[in-house]
Chain A
Amino acid sequence: MSDTLEKVQAIVVEHLGVEAEKVSASASFIEDLGADSLDTVELVMAFEEEFGIEIPDDAAESILSVGDAISFIDSVKK
């Protein structure tokens, strides 16, 4: 398991109160993990904080799943 996946999972578990095993790369925040639109804003803020990056609003809008988040974070970290 990648370092990014592990950290993203931990953030999602904490903010959405879901079980860790449900937080797979393909899981959609809203459809699979029960988030609402405000939760997704907060998740993006938590990713920014954890990884020390900035996620612009247009990029944030395309981050719909755990996998989307990991790809974006890894792309800016490189």
Chain B
Amino acid sequence: MRRVVVTGIGAVTPLGGDIHSSWEKLILGESGASSITRFDPEGFPCTIACEVPLGEGLSANDGSFNPNDWVSPKDQKKIDTFILYGIAAAEMAIKDSGWSPRSDEDIFRAGVGVGSGIGGLASIEKTAHILKEKGPRKVSPFFIPGALINLAAGQISIRNNLKGPNLAAVTACASGSHSIGEGAQMIKNNKADVMVVGGAEAAICPLGMAGFSASRALSTNFNNTPEKASRPYDSERDGFVMGEGAGFLVLEELECALSRGANIYGELKGYGVSGDAFHITSPSPDGDGAYRSILMALSDAKIETKEIDYINAHGTSTPLGDEIELRAVERAFEGQVEGLSMSSTKSSTGHLLGAAGAVEAVFSIMCMKENIIPPTLNLDNPSVETKIDLVPHKSKQKEINSILSNSFGFGGTNASLIFSRYYN
């Protein structure tokens, strides 16, 4: 059986322009939320978001993100911001992995899989205005290839000369996790040896904020205290806080990684997928879809529930979803949850939609590397009783050998990933 290991990680998050600055703030319990600066949010029900911190970037080494570090200003105009984040985080992960092709065959056996929930929403919005105000002849020829979801994978393949499978999972807020899981399948099924996989999202634009507000998904009670708004499991939670960014892993077939002496962060051992067949935006109240997704991942990984040390929850801070996921976990673990820790890093980063599962996979890898569990911020009064340790307020040290990471999306689509420490 072909085994899949993680040999590179990269991220652009609301906490920082790279994984190390993001991780540092995550375990310190800092929030990436603030009033929206990308546009004037006056009149919007929700006026806060978790924006990627823009700044001098690499030259300043201050944890900020500078688009010019990754894509020339000329080319930035031809791509939506979600693709920009994707290109940056993917190149960070590839560099971190140390992988480079030694032959044409290596190039053909290296692919890309990048999901996004919505893709180039800001570009679509901007171009619709141009169309209305100036007519069809003023629409940029780069509009479509700059907004299409799979162009993140396309751009990354072109820039890094990766000629293997080129895919894009589009499963709303599960896109990142599905891209990782499906990328691993490409390796397991011998269609590739290396897959650069992840998710990218940039939907903090008027249309995105108005749309998610209209579907009653966003927090609206904390516009004056943005850092308090994302509060998974807390009784005062009232919706998610929009985030943006990208997360990437380099997945590699084990023998391939060993043969080049790669640093192995861990093994992707289990992947579960399911559908709710229930409602367009609400999760099924019995959590059945989440439950079956978790069970499938456990079975795929061939490990017992007691071996899972930490769960990185989907936990978006919406009134319905958090408790349903919690109950689904308790059911999948048959109530044997004492000593199990589960936190939602969305309490720090907000909800990165189609990038969420990928950024959370990167955080999961860091948890295993550092043996630290990041906290669930703002969890003052849990709305339900549970024996699961929800890691309120402060991160904690714990030996971590296996992690479960869940992602669920609109449409009733579920994904669960299990990462374990690599043993021979």
Contacts and interface: CB of A to CB of B under 8 A. Distances in A.
A38 B77 CA distance: 13
Contacts, number: 20
Contacts of A17: 72, 74
Nearest to B139: A45
A17 B74 CA distance: 6
A35 to B, nearest CB: 11
Interface stretch (B29-37, B112-120, B140-148, B367-375): B140-148
Q: Is the interface of B mostly helix, strand, loop or mixed?
A: loop
A38 B74 contact: no
Contact of A38 (B72, B137, B138, B145): B145
A16 B73 CA distance: 11
Contact of A15 (B74, B137, B138, B145): B74
A39 B146 CA distance: 13
Contact of B74 (A16, A45, A54): A16
Interface residues of B, number: 9
A18 B141 CA distance: 20
Contacts of B138: 45
B74 A42 contact: no
A41 interface: yes
B309 to A, nearest CB: 50
Nearest to B140: A42
Size bracket, chain A contacts: 10 to 19
Contact of A45 (B72, B78, B137, B145): B137
B414 to A, nearest CB: 38
A41 B141 CA distance: 7
Given A17-B72, A17-B74, A42 B137 contact: no
Interface in A37-58: 38-39, 41-42, 45, 48, 54
A38 B145 CA distance: 10
B144 to A, nearest CB: 10
A41 to B, nearest CB: 4
Nearest to B138: A45
A16 to B, nearest CB: 7
Contacts of B141: 38-39, 41-42, 45
Contacts of B78: 38
Nearest to A54: B137
A17 B137 CA distance: 23
A42 B146 CA distance: 13
A42 B77 CA distance: 11
Interface in A1-45: 14-17, 38-39, 41-42, 45
20 contacts: A14-B74, A15-B74, A16-B74, A17-B72, A17-B74, A38-B78, A38-B141, A38-B142, A38-B145, A39-B141, A41-B141, A42-B140, A42-B141, A42-B142, A45-B137, A45-B138, A45-B140, A45-B141, A48-B137, A54-B137
